[in-house]
Structure 1
Amino acid sequence: MTTKNRCRTYAWDDPLAGASKARTMSGMEYLQAMSSGEIPLPPLLYTLGFSKPEIAEGEATFLFEPQEYHFNPLGSVHGGVITAVLDSAMGCTLQSVLPKGTGYTTLELKVNFLKGINLQTPVLSATGKIIHKGKTTALVEADLRDKEGVVYAHAVSTCLMFNF
């Protein structure tokens, strides 16, 4: 019988409380409202332990510190967690340039896992960048790097933009 001695608890606000406001703000205004606390942060940030994003026009960065609760059965960070932080950076990067009344969704997501991530891995940052933004689709990318610039993972996403 296994004794479970690790515990993690956290709380979050209603994620739909601010969702309707997205329709009345530009993407940057919406992200700034989340950053200031006017709109609740997504529960995913608390669930996976990502930092609140640093946002600039056309760029978003999340910090990620590997923890045991991110592990897969082999004792390294699960690929889904790595994908989630990269997807968050790419999504917020695109959101930061969207005009009022415009939303987006992911059409395709591809991730390259380049280095294993475990408890000895330092804090990593996922930063998004827009490769191309057309009228209906956008291509964005993100890297997951340490402070020395070593790349641990790279992702590319195609997004569909739409009017609310």
Structure 2
Amino acid sequence: MSQGLNPPSLAEAINAKGFSGAAGFRVAALEPGYAELALSRRDDLLQFFGHFHGGVITALADQAAGMAVTSSLPKGRIGVTVELKINFLEPASGTELLARAKTLKMSGSIGVATVEIFSKDGGAETLCAFCTATMRALDLPAEFR
């Protein structure tokens, strides 16, 4: 990763705090403009039919998009959500979710990312949701600089 960009340790630190840490989001891969987050199945993350809850899927997509954009920003900047749209394509009934996010475009302080969310069961992956997110680059809070 370029010395001028945010290091992977920043993503780990941000992901460990608050809801993301409590939900169990894990950073599976990170490079400039790309992030993969995983989430293991737990009963408290499911809806009444036994599939991952749509809100959990959306939160994972949001976090992955933010990390993809943040990873391509200069040190000291972070991508925060301005707008997010998600399409649910299949029930997410696997043992794990995997969100793969990439930055499509950064223009000034605004970036757009896409996220594909897969339901994994063993070696099989099923595309269960697709997301587009618009992010704004802001200064990081002092504790992360």
Question: Is the structural similarity TM-score above 0.5?
Answer: yes
CA distances 1:11-64 after superposition (whole Å, capped 9, x unpaired): xxxxxxxxxxxxxx96522x32554x7x88223233212223421111111112
Q: Distance in 1 between matches of 2:15 and 2:45?
A: 23
- How many residue pairs match? The answer is 135
Of 93, 97, 114, the residue aligned with 2:72 is 97
Say whether residues 1:28 and 2:3 are aligned partners: no
Of 46, 53, 64, the residue aligned with 1:78 is 53
Q: Percent identity?
A: 24
CA distances 1:98-122 after superposition (whole Å, capped 9, x unpaired): 112323321100011111123xx13
Structure 1 outlier segments of 4+, above 4 Å = none
Q: Distance in 2 between matches of 1:126 and 1:105?
A: 17
RMSD: 2.5
Say whether residues 1:150 and 2:123 are aligned partners: no
TM-score where L is the length of structure 1: 0.70
Q: Distance in 2 between matches of 1:74 and 1:148?
A: 21
Match of 2:143 in 1: none
TM-score where L is the length of structure 2: 0.78
- Structure with more strand by fraction: 2
Q: Which structure's CA Rg is the greater one?
A: 1
Q: Distance in 2 between matches of 1:87 and 1:26?
A: 24
Q: Secondary structure at the match of 2:26?
A: coil
Q: CA deviation at 1:83?
A: 0.5
After superposition, the Cα gap between the structure-2 partners of 1:111 and 1:40, relative to the gap in structure 1 and judged at 3 Å, is closer
Q: Which amino acid letter does the alignment assign opposite residue 137 of structure 2?
A: M
146-155 vs 77-86, which moves further: 146-155
